[in-house]
């Protein structure tokens, strides 16, 4: 069983729509959850982190965390073609100095003009 699971996609949405990216994790002790965006050939870029149950909003991005369901999601409102990228969900392993991250396989998002 994979520790962090994401749908690989591709997820295709029209410009201006809401893109919903989902991630589940297996370690119930996980404390911190991160979303990174990675353009083709580039390095991962942090979008948001969340560690409390509920929603966290930053501009067009909203991260949602439900620890009981071991589920974290990222919503992108008013999607733009420039949002087309692979989105990586990462979970910080509990009780580990230095913070080992476990990455999901990534979801490829395509925003069509």
How many residues sit in the footprint of other proteins (CB under 8 A)?
22
Kindly tell me which of 61 and 103 has the beta carbon lying closer to other proteins.
Answer: 103
Find the shortest distance in angstroms from Cβ 16 to other proteins: 28
Contacts of 107 (CB under 8 A, 6+ apart): 6, 7, 8, 9, 11, 21, 22, 86, 87, 89
Q: Does 49 bind other proteins (CB under 8 A)?
A: yes
Of 16 and 59, the one with the shorter C-beta distance to other proteins is 59
Q: In whole angstroms, what is the distance from residue 112 CA to residue 21 CA?
A: 16
Among candidates 37, 50, 40, 44, which has minimal Cα distance to 79? 37
Under the criterion CB under 8 A, does residue 109 sit at the interface with other proteins? no
Q: Contacting other proteins (CB under 8 A), which of 88, 91, 109, 111?
A: 88
Binding site residues, other proteins, CB under 8 A? 31-32, 34, 36, 42-46, 49, 51, 88, 92, 97-101, 103-106
């Amino acid at each position: 069983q994979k520790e962090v699971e994401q749908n690989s996609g591709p997820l295709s949405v029209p410009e201006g729509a809401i893109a919903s990216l989902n991630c589940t994790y297996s370690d119930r002790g996980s404390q911190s959850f991160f979303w990174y965006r990675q353009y083709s050939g580039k390095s991962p870029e942090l979008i948001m982190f969340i560690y409390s149950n509920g929603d966290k909003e930053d501009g067009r991005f909203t991260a949602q965390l439900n620890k009981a369901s071991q589920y974290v999601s990222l919503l992108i409102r008013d999607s733009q073609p420039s949002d087309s990228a692979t989105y990586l969900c990462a979970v910080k392993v509990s009780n580990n100095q230095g913070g080992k991250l476990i990455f999901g396989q990534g979801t490829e998002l395509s925003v069509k003009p």
